[in-house]
Structure 1
Amino acid sequence: MQTNLNENRLIDRLKRGDAIAFDTLFKIYGPKLYSFALKYLRSESESEELVQVVFVKIWENRKALKTDLSFKSYLFTIALNQIRKYFNKRAITLNYLNQLSGEDFESNKTVDSIDYASLLKRVDEIVDGFPERKKLIFQKSRKEGKSSKEIAAELEITAGAVDNQISESLKIIREVLKKEDLVLLLFLALFL
């Protein structure tokens, strides 16, 4: 009972912008949240980042906190939503790479040694060279994970037109990467 009373006082102080109360709550819940995130993410750096993101959200929304609800539950709900976003983003990225290559990136040993960040950066450079409309459609589809119907509704065009633009975009990207990958494949064959 005393613990709940102390926590409620901390939350009241936090709602008024008290940084010491925020720091105290961080010290209490930060390690627990980190352990929780680590079980899902299996990455120390990603788990640390998640804890920071959650507590930034707590600080930004401090005025809306309710002392009659469990702060711990609220905190872990935010964390779970962030973990879901992380996995959704990862799934979209893997799907994006799979469609570009026509291969399964997770099972290909040589692809494991490719720097995905560099590959994504190169794809972004190629997409930046697209006409604005094609670029917008492609980014909404592959980066934001929107369906053809959603994009069509937003841009007031048909879903078929969206699908055509995406297919053309993927074809262009594949052709450019194919030309550039000859050097990469030669390097992988000689040195790996």
Structure 2
Amino acid sequence: MENTRESLDVQLILRLQAGDETAFREVFDRFSQKIYGLACHFLKNKDQGKEVVQETMLRLWEHRLKLSVDYALAPYIYTIARRVALNLLRQAASSRAASLKLWESIPAYHNDTEETVLGADLERITGQILNILPPQQQEIFRLSRFEGLTYEEIAVRMNISPHTVKYHMMAALKVLRTHFNEAEIVFGFLAFSLLF
């Protein structure tokens, strides 16, 4: 599965770089619904969700020559979508009236059940991925992300150097990103914004 996905991504990237509009359509078909769902969940607005999809795909096409066959498409696309959504939020909040309207609308769209389910799923998946890490990496990740300790504080607590903490943290994050990407789950977008 992983090799098939990587091979598909490499082929799509090469075709995109060559200006193949059919490849662009395949990418659009593969990611547009996921981006739309995430954007609507994040922005609480269907029209803005459509705008995020359009802007994300436009930016992908405009910057297709910068794509690298060494990296999967999903994290790249979700990163673009996240930035577009954040820019929309900033624009909406730039005027006082828009800001007040935005804050007033948040409780109306707030869905505790959905957020609880998404949070529980993200926590479960993250926990499963963390369990495959070596014990020291697990401990460092938990101290950093769940307890909020700095690398220096972790180094003192675990009696290791801050450089070692940084090395293990980077390795743990790489494993998490890889597994989120391999699963190509909706939480990939959320995980990057919530955990990283």
TM-score between both structures, scaled by the size of structure 2: 0.48
Q: Which has the larger radius of gyration?
A: 1
